[in-house]
Amino acid sequence: MKLAIHGVTGRMGLSIVRAAQAAGHQIVGGACAPGDAAVGRDVGELAGLGSLGVVVSPDVASALLGAEVVVDFSTASAVPGLVSVAARAGVAVMSGTTGLDTAGEAALDRAAGSVPVLWAPNTSLGVQVLAELVEQAVRRLGQAFDVEILEVHHRRKIDAPSGTALRLARAAKAGRAGLEEVHARDGNVGARKESELGVVAVRGGDVVGDHTVFLLGTGERLELTHRASSRELFAQGALAAARFVCGKPPGRYGFKDVLA
């Protein structure tokens, strides 16, 4: 594949540079935010690989020149502009940026009318399977079991709850109608309602990402946990998703389509 990376100077962006080079893909462009201190530097040198002849640019359109797919790990506010440029350029989109609002979701939908767009809040194969297990477990255990989600991430993560926690919450709600998300609790909130789906975010240290879904019954509980020990697994998943979406017809795709 010929790849452009949007958000190339971030930790995920640089992980994807390394994974793409190891897999034999060609990096043709790297985009960053205006004012980034790495503007003009070689993406390979930033990733510790030596010069690749591709410099970091704040100009998204120029970074996408010659690309088949753009892999995006940036910020929610940058996604609408990226997908608009990608749609005009005919470049497929694989985005793992979380925290999108309704405007960001609408931008993905518009771009999907022209190019294939795959958005995933988590590019781990294990997390996708976890979501499928959560939906099945919630459906099978029924209302006798309360559902709570706990996620833990490093101190630098800017959005809460995590996109993965929200993905798992959607899986739980698919398994049982009527569940309503409650993000943390504070004060005299009263007894837990049967319809509550608690989601709690913990931040600290250098934790890559831990997610646990608790199904709490009377006299027993089930805990479904995924722990990420390296960002490289997300980079490998992102490349798998990029390979999947490359050459697909225009439309919206998800990570479940990659596994299927």
Which residues are the active-site residues? 153, 157
Q: How far apart are CA 125 and CA 115, in angstroms?
A: 24
Helices and strands in the chain, H and E counts: 9, 12
* 244, 123 contact by CB (below 8 A): no
**Token duo for residue 172:** 């739980």
Contacts of residue 1, defined as CB under 8 A and 6 or more positions apart, other chains included, come to 20, 25, 26, 68, 69, 242, 243, 246
Place of tokens 């781990």: 124
How is residue 174 annotated by DSSP? H
- What residue type is assigned to position 61 of the chain? A
Q: What are phi and psi of 182, to 5 degrees?
A: -125, 115
Beta bridge partners of 225: 212
CA nearest neighbour of 212 among 95, 121, 133: 133
How is residue 175 annotated by DSSP? H
